[in-house]
Structure 1
Amino acid sequence: MSTNSTYPYDIPLPLNCIQGFDNFLEILKFVCQMGYLIPGWVLHILILKTILWKESRVFLHNSFFVIYALDSFASFIMLSFDITFTRAIMYIPPLCPILSPYFYTPSLFLKLAYVVPNYMKAMKSVTQIFMNINRMHCILYPITYKATWNRKMIPIVLFILLSPCLVTWNLVISRITVFPMFGGFGVSYIKRVAWASLSTFHFIFLSTAVIITIVCTILSVFVLTTLPMRVKNAEKTLCIANFLISVGFILTAICQSIYAFCAKCPSDFLFGMQYLSHDFLNIISPMIVICMSSQLRNSIFPVKFLRPVSVVPSGTSQNNLS
């Protein structure tokens, strides 16, 4: 949507709920999505609890885990809105006539429900960039890697936290509204600044992240295959984990780009697909990191018969893990 600065942003915008959807089928979609969203949400809680509190003395000394904690936090927030609000209003038709009237006029809650997840999506693009640069630096310059990243972590974290404002600033000043979607309704916006398109900003962030991801991955794989003993095994497993996450990120970026720029594609289908593509990335990412990082896995699931031989990340002593 676009409009000029004279648009009356405070007038009610009624919504006509779409009739004809099978309530059972739509609710089944909701239940199926909760079946993977909630476990993924729990995994992110466990990861954040382990990195930031339970084993912070170990993981916060590893720059990759600091960046990944920010990525995990973004996924956790996105999943929290999906589980508690976004998917329910979209896939439970009986809620549409009950809840939609509350959003005919501007609502602070609705603004948060739209601005915050989009902020987190942009933040995940930035964390993706730094995770790939981090792994490439570790492989190319293993001797200076730890000291360099520890020295630069504060400005990197600040950049990751502040740069998504470049994507969401127009959402903050724009009218957030609802529109019919599937058996319920979705959330969109009426632009206060007509040229500042959310899709374009996301595309710039995503395309930048994809280009850097591809370049870093090619260089990292080349060095890992030609100099296999250049980095320690624990760092190498984090590189592999990051490669797999990067594949998921690229697939998500492709779906997001098609949704933003394919005007002739079915809008309902693409709207659902861009949600599912982010679901895939948000769910697969913690599974990959937990599977590939033995020290994180052992901290989250302290069951002795599940533990392989512990691998110590660079710069961390075995005593810190015991």
Structure 2
Amino acid sequence: MQRLRALTRVPKQPMGEAWFMGETRRMYPALMHDDPSRWPRDELDSALYELASGPVAFGPLREWSLWFAFLLPRALELLGRSDAAAFDDSRLLSGLITATFVHYPDGERLPANLRQDLLDTLGRAMFAPSLWNASGMQKNAFCSPWQRGTRHGDMLDPSDAFSASCILIATYLDPERLAHWLDSVMRIADPFWRAGWVVWLAGAAPVLIDGAYPSALDSGGFHLADWLNAHLLDAPSKPIVPDVLPAAFVDAERRQLLQASLRRNLDRRRLQQWGADLRQAGAPRGEAFEYVLWQYDSAAEAVAERYRLD
């Protein structure tokens, strides 16, 4: 965080919006403070959308590049503030990750130290010690995939911060470390975390298996894996090089490594055991937990089929 912060100072001019049709362009002067606690949260959210959508639609501008590099490490400091709602933190991390993908689309070409700093900040945000206890993730953690008391009752919703963080790691982590990452994921004993991760695997299959861009992720199905502003991350409408198709969002080598490692460490029997653990952990919730169980069972079957597990 300190290294990323030290790279930038407050820009001399306020950032401006990307989309405007009148003579007056909306500016964001309230963000011209080095102390992020002084930023209005609605302005920050709006600015992150402009930072992500502007380069996609109009191409890169130095203004947006400077402002993104300035906002990123300081906005991360806002996560976990006691006065912030979990929903706000989830949207903030999701918006930051979307903008990161826009401004740094090719992790392989980033300086290794910058890529590692992004992984150690953005990628580890949902593993802050304050979000976990001895039994697993805190129920009120902003990135928890278990949502209680929705219109369906309880539900597994690994969209937004959970999904964006996992996709970031799958995209930026050194290929030789992907197997270790998957192993560490599956060692987390929290049954709600594991269930959410299985639902995420099912929902993220278009990106992790087919090479689709995040804009293809389903935002209204049973296995949610989309996140804030992910619709902006779409395949280029035209090949950059004539007669060459645009690259997949997650390159073929990474997808093959992820799938091979997953097949070595996860099988139908283990998925069934995780389902039994989930039923036992959720038993006190009674009927409110039925939708969670159905989600998990359907996701486990989809994961076994899509990832060709034994």
Decide: shared fold, TM above 0.5.
no
Shorter-chain TM band: under 0.3
Larger relative contact order, structure 1 or 2 (CA cutoff 8 Å, min sep 6): 1
Q: Whose radius of gyration is greater, 1 or 2?
A: 1
